């Protein structure tokens, strides 16, 4: 069960090369051919059939498949089943009925991108909570990770590509307009760059993708319309010219680099405009308020990654529930920023989180630190807490960036399922008790915070 025609076609071709009898049913195949493939499936002449969720869950298709008693259903991109997934696709929701239609069959779901909340939601919807959840591990040790604030993006992109001539790579952009601009810019510099976005004709998109897959040294400049199912092993870099939508989206996009296991690089530049645009996209998503709140918190987690003061891999993998050691293969490990002792400020923050019950998000915790009197604080009695107003000597933007670094360092955790409430980790509790110190840096997040204040 696959979401894209192009993905089905690529995988069918790969299976057939391996001698596996595989076919796909989708709208790009004429009616007579579809009937032939469907009959082959019914007659047991196929090992593997690819189909979209929309096609599968029609009464006609279900009836046809019941005649051949399939043993296994595999749901690809299974995070689409979840209402908390980053690419929610309502048609995937109907797949929860598969076990009713085929009680003897095994149902499996696979995805490379799901945080803990999404994993649980998929298991509940697809397996009614009775399935086995297997998490293989998220680390890609061959990927070098780097992030820097956006200054002059054209110069930053050119500088990055200067030493990577002849390498295959992807440059991700937020908009179609920027995609075209970047592709034109790079082409003028002698780079074999091609655009890819939803505004191009299917013929142009297909031709550009085929060129990228078949030739060496091609740079694909693309929106997120490009990527799902791309399995080119020698992509040596992924460059984000804008902030992705979430930690999951970022992980999925950088995961297209270095699939052959050889050293590869992923680099991101980000700025205030990126943050503003991402916030707007979430607000305009049309989903309910709870969904929007969760997506804002997912974006907060990505910002924490961008502003990390310690190993980026530790920050990235801790989001997915892993606790690795510093990697030595990221910009922070190789060039650590100048650190400032922030233990006192951290104890103020962690005390506010603890005393308010570890169930409130950034906005309310900062209100308590600043001593901001409002109806909510008064109603909850938080204006009478010892921590009320202890952080008023620092501006709001300081505390916003400080919290993101505390999240990045694993001192605080964002509870996505409980509307983004901040929780103390064991490490954060040790700082609160005076058993451990806390350091922060001003290099990235606080520079952006200062710019925001000037506006």
User: Residue 448: what pLDDT?
Assistant: 39
Cβ within 8 Å of residue 31, ≥6 positions away: none
Q: Which two tokens stand for residue 227?
A: 């990527």
Which strands form 193-196's sheet, in the order they lie side by side? 143-149, 264-270, 235-240, 168-172, 219-222, 193-196
Q: What is the spatial distance between Cα 185 and Cα 177, in angstroms, rounded to a whole number?
A: 12
Cβ-in-10-Å burial (0-12, 13-18, 19+) of 109 comes to buried
Q: What is the spatial distance between Cα 212 and Cα 177, in angstroms, rounded to a whole number?
A: 20
Please tell me whether the overall predicted TM-score, pTM, comes out greater than 0.75 for this model. no
- Please work out, in degrees rounded to the nearest 5, the angle formed at the alpha carbon of residue 445 by the alpha carbons of 444 and 451: 95
> Strand, helix or coil at 27?
coil
Q: Which two tokens stand for residue 173?
A: 């952009």
Cα–Cα distance list, 253 to 60, 147, 158, 212 (Å): 36, 15, 21, 16
Q: Which two tokens stand for residue 61?
A: 């298709």
Cβ within 8 Å of residue 148, ≥6 positions away: 156, 267, 268, 269, 331, 444
Q: What is the spatial distance between Cα 444 and Cα 382, in angstroms, rounded to a whole number?
A: 32
Q: Please spell the DSSP secondary structure of 343-405, one letter per residue.
A: HHHHHHHHHHHHHTTS---HHHHHHHHHT---HHHHHHTGGGSTTTTTTTTS-HHHHHHHHHH
10-residue mean pLDDT profile of the chain (455 residues): values are: 82 91 88 91 92 89 90 89 66 84 92 81 84 86 93 93 94 95 96 94 90 94 80 93 91 92 95 78 76 82 86 90 90 90 96 94 93 91 94 90 79 72 91 94 50 35
Q: Which two tokens stand for residue 298?
A: 């997912």
User: Residue 446: what pLDDT?
Assistant: 42
> Strand, helix or coil at 426?
helix
Q: How far is CA 194 from the centre of its chain?
A: 24
């Amino acid at each position: 069960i696959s979401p894209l025609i192009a993905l089905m076609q690529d995988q069918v071709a790969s299976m057939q090369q391996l001698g596996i009898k595989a076919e796909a049913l989708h709208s790009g195949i004429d009616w007579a051919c579809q009937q032939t493939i469907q009959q082959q499936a019914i007659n047991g002449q196929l090992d593997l059939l690819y189909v979209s969720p929309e096609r599968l869950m029609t009464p006609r298709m279900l009836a046809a498949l019941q005649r051949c008693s399939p043993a296994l259903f595999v749901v690809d991109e299974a995070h689409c089943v979840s209402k908390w997934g980053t690419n929610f696709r309502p048609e995937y929701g109907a797949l929860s009925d598969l076990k009713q239609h085929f009680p003897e069959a095994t149902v499996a779901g696979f995805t490379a991108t799901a945080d803990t909340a999404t994993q649980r939601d998929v298991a509940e919807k697809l397996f009614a909570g009775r399935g086995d959840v297997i998490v293989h591990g998220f680390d890609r040790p061959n990927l070098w990770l780097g992030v820097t604030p956006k200054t002059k993006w054209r110069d930053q992109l050119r500088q990055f590509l200067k030493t990577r001539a002849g390498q295959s790579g992807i440059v991700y952009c937020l908009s179609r307009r920027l995609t075209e601009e970047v592709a034109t810019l790079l082409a003028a510099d002698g780079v074999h760059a091609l655009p890819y976005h939803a505004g191009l004709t299917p013929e142009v998109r297909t031709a550009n993708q085929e060129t990228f897959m078949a030739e060496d040294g091609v740079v694909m400049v693309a929106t997120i319309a490009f990527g799902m199912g791309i399995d080119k092993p020698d992509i040596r870099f992924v460059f984000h010219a804008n902030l992705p939508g979430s930690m999951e989206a970022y992980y999925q996009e950088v995961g297209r680099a270095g699939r052959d296991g050889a050293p590869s690089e992923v680099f991101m530049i980000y700025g205030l405009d990126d943050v503003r645009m991402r916030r707007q996209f979430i607000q305009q998503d049309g989903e309910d308020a709870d969904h929007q709140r969760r997506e804002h918190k997912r974006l907060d987690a990505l910002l924490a990654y961008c502003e990390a003061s310690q190993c980026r891999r530790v920050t990235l993998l801790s989001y997915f529930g892993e606790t690795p050691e510093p990697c030595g293969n990221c910009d922070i490990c190789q060039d650590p920023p100048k650190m400032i002792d922030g233990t006192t400020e951290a104890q103020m923050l962690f005390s506010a989180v603890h005393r308010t019950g570890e169930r409130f998000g950034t906005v309310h915790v900062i209100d308590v630190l600043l001593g901001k009197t409002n109806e909510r604080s008064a109603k909850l009695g938080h204006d009478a807490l010892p921590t009320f107003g202890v952080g008023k000597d620092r501006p709001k933007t300081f505390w916003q960036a400080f919290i993101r670094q505390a999240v990045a360092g694993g001192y605080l955790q964002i509870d996505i399922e409980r509307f983004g409430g901040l929780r103390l980790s064991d490490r954060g509790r040790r700082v609160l008790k005076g058993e451990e110190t806390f350091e922060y840096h001003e290099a990235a997040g606080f520079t952006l915070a200062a710019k925001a204040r000037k506006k």
